[in-house]
Structure 1
Amino acid sequence: MLKLVAKFKQLKSCDRYLLIAAFMLLGAVRLGLWLMPFRLLFRFLMQISSPNVSNKTPNTDSHKLDSSPLSALEGSPKTMHQSYRVARIIWSINMASRCLPGNTKCLARALATQVLMNWHRYVSELHIGVNKTPEGTFRAHAWIEYQGRVIVGNLQDLTQFTPLLAYRGSEQ
């Protein structure tokens, strides 16, 4: 535990803020999925992440550019900076998922990511799909796409899922 605290203290302040926000948001989403009907939780999350809500996320313009999981999206300096910031959002969700007790499902991860992307004014798409395995088992999966690429919840073959919901986040 002390090693985790030491590593946390070594992070840049904007990364600490982002990690805390992801941790709290992911925990709240998991609790909400357990306590509330999905429709009500989804409406609430999209309302609090709308551009009209005051956004107090830190400015990360001071970050040096780094290699990221979205390196294929990089190009101009502005695009490179956006790729870096989106990569940090993904990183914060992944870290928070590992630190929370229990198993964080794809739906909670996708919903929390969508909220963080909206807070940072990146337009992403939340997808929820279902399928039935040859054994007759019902499966569902949720994932996030940004600029046409899956950034959270990537599976080998997402085309096997019949879409139930595709929600495009808002900008500004």
Structure 2
Amino acid sequence: MGRVYGFLRISSGDKFRALLAAALLVAVRFSFVLVSFASCRRVLIGTTARLSPIVPGSPPPARVAWAVDATDRNLPGSRTCLMRSLTSEAIHRLYDHDVVHQIGVDPIGDERPDGLEPAGTPNGGFEAHSWIECEGEVILGDLGDLSRFEPLPPLNGTERS
């Protein structure tokens, strides 16, 4: 009941963004099973770009990131950082925010200092993470140790140039 009460107390704009984030987080999760990441992203970004002129309001980028993060925490199931950042990027595009969708890779050897099993092969590999930046600040997906990830070219680098 506390979650419902909390939802009812937020502004109508935050409710809209939370409901949109919930719908997109679920859609992205299923889309990743059915189509490639590139196809999912192209459709999602294209759709939000077309809807942008009719969506009212202009929340700050941090508020959009909050909506995605809070919604993700309260939805059942789990989603990856890539699913969260893709959802966030799409909603930011809806409000014409100039954000950077970043993916970084941490090449790791056979053993990690924290004892966790690395992604990739059982005997080593890499770990990847996806996050959203706005004006040089991480607004979604900050792990506290992002410096260990070697950034790849931003996903939307060529689109915003």
| TM-score clears 0.5 | yes
2:66 paired residue number: 91
Is structure 2 residue 141 aligned with structure 1 residue 166? no
Q: CA deviation at 1:145?
A: 0.7
Q: In structure 2, do the counterparts of structure 1 residues 159 and 11 end up closer, same or farther at CA, with 3 Å as the change threshold?
A: closer
- Alpha-carbon displacement from aligned partner over 1:27-76 (angstroms, at most 9, x marks no partner): 111111222111211221221232xx03343325xxxxxxxxxxxxxxxx
1:67 paired residue number: none
* Aligned-partner residue type, residue 133 of structure 2: E
Structure 1 residue corresponding to 2:105, chosen from 124, 127, 130:
130
Asked whether the 8 Å contact 1:17–1:58 carries over to 2, the reply is: no
Provide the rounded CA distance (Å) in 1 between the counterparts of 2:31 and 2:104: 20
Q: CA deviation at 1:139?
A: 1.2
- Structure 1 residue runs of 4 or more that deviate by more than 4 Å after TM superposition: none
Asked whether the 8 Å contact 1:107–1:141 carries over to 2, the reply is: yes
Query: Structure 1 regions of 5+ residues with no counterpart?
Result: 61-81
Provide the rounded CA distance (Å) in 2 between the counterparts of 1:26 and 1:102: 11
Q: In structure 2, do the counterparts of structure 1 residues 138 and 91 end up closer, same or farther at CA, with 3 Å as the change threshold?
A: same
SS of aligned partner of 2:155: strand
* Aligned-partner residue type, residue 139 of structure 2: I
Structure 2 residue corresponding to 1:54, chosen from 51, 55, 61:
51
Q: CA deviation at 1:163?
A: 3.4
Provide the rounded CA distance (Å) in 2 between the counterparts of 1:156 and 1:16: 28
1:84-163 matches, cutoff 5 A: 85-135=60-110, 136-163=124-151
Provide the rounded CA distance (Å) in 1 between the counterparts of 2:143 and 2:73: 19
| TM-score normalised by L of structure 2 | 0.79
1:75 paired residue number: none
Provide the rounded CA distance (Å) in 1 between the counterparts of 2:88 and 2:145: 21
Q: CA deviation at 1:94?
A: 1.1
| TM-score normalised by L of structure 1 | 0.74
Q: CA deviation at 1:165?
A: 4.1
Query: After alignment, is 134-143 or 117-126 more displaced?
Result: 134-143
Provide the rounded CA distance (Å) in 1 between the counterparts of 2:146 and 2:79: 19
